Structure 1
Amino acid sequence: MVGRSGVRWACTGAVAAVLAVTLAACGGGSGGDGSGSGTGKPSPTPKVGVDKALAAKVPAAIKSKGTLKIGTDSSYAPNEFLASDGKTVEGWDVDLYNAVLAKLGLKATYESAKFGTIIAGVESGKYDAGVSSFTVNADRMKQANMVTYYSAGVWWATKKGNPKNVSPDAACGKTVAVQTDTIEVDDIQARSKKCTSAGKPAIKIDQYDGQDQATAAVVSGKDDAMLADSPIVAYALKQSKGQLESLGKIYEAAPYGYVIKKDQLAFAQAIQGALKALMADGTYEKILTNWGVQVGKIDNPTVNPSVSQ
Structure 2
Amino acid sequence: MYRFTPGRRAILGLAVAAAMTVSLSACGEETGDDTGGAAPAPSASADSTLAEKVPDDIKSAGKITIGTDSTYAPSEFLDTDGSTVVGFDVDLFDAVAQKLGLTTQWQSAKFDAIIPGVSSGKYNIGVSSFTVNSERLQQATMISYFSAGTQWAAKEGASIDPENACGKKVAVQVGTVQLDDIKAKSKACTDGGKPAITIDQYQAQSDATNAVVSGKDDAMLADSPVCAYAVKQTNGQLALLGEIYDSAPYGYVLPKDQTEFGDAIKGALDALIADGTYKSILAKWGVEAGGISDPTVNPQG
Normalized against structure 2, the TM-score is what? 0.90
- Is residue 241 of structure 1 aligned with residue 235 of structure 2? yes
- What is the distance in 2 between the residues matched to 1:298 and 1:194? 34
Aligned residue in 1 for 2:24: 32
- What is the distance in 2 between the residues matched to 1:60 and 1:25? 41
- Out of 193, 200, 211, the residue aligned to residue 205 of structure 2 is 211
Aligned residue in 1 for 2:34: none
**Which sits farther off after the overlay, 177-186 or 22-31?**
22-31
- Is residue 52 of structure 1 aligned with residue 48 of structure 2? yes
- What is the distance in 1 between the residues matched to 2:185 and 2:255? 33
Q: 1:67 to 1:182 in 2, by over 3 A?
A: same
Aligned residue in 1 for 2:129: 133
Aligned residue in 1 for 2:287: 293
Over aligned residue pairs, what C-alpha RMSD do you find? Answer: 1.9
- Is residue 257 of structure 1 aligned with residue 251 of structure 2? yes
- Is residue 168 of structure 1 aligned with residue 162 of structure 2? yes
Aligned residue in 1 for 2:184: 190
- What is the distance in 2 between the residues matched to 1:225 and 1:235? 15
Aligned residue in 2 for 1:74: 70
Deviation at 1:260, TM superposition (A): 0.4
- What is the distance in 2 between the residues matched to 1:25 and 1:145? 35
- What is the distance in 1 between the residues matched to 2:231 and 2:178? 18
Q: Which runs of 5+ in 1 are unaligned?
A: 35-45
**Residue type at the aligned position of 2:286:** G
Deviation at 1:145, TM superposition (A): 0.4
- What is the distance in 1 between the residues matched to 2:117 and 2:180? 23
- What is the distance in 2 between the residues matched to 1:24 and 1:296? 23
- Out of 225, 232, 242, the residue aligned to residue 231 of structure 1 is 225
Aligned residue in 1 for 2:2: 5
- What is the distance in 1 between the residues matched to 2:280 and 2:152? 27
In the comparison of the two structures, how many residue pairs are matched?
A: 283
- Is residue 151 of structure 1 aligned with residue 147 of structure 2? yes
- What is the distance in 2 between the residues matched to 1:244 and 1:274? 37
Deviation at 1:306, TM superposition (A): 1.3
Q: Which runs of 5+ in 2 are unaligned?
A: 27-41
Matches within 5 A, 1:268-287: 268-287=262-281
Q: Give the 4+ runs in structure 1 shifted more than 6 A.
A: none
Q: 1:90 to 1:302 in 2, by over 3 A?
A: same
Contact conserved, 2:2 with 2:129, CA < 8 A, in 1?
Answer: yes
- What is the distance in 2 between the residues matched to 1:48 and 1:30? 26
**Residue type at the aligned position of 2:24:** G
Aligned residue in 1 for 2:193: 199
**Residue type at the aligned position of 1:256:** Y
Deviation at 1:25, TM superposition (A): 7.2
- What is the distance in 1 between the residues matched to 2:288 and 2:275? 16
State the identity %: 57
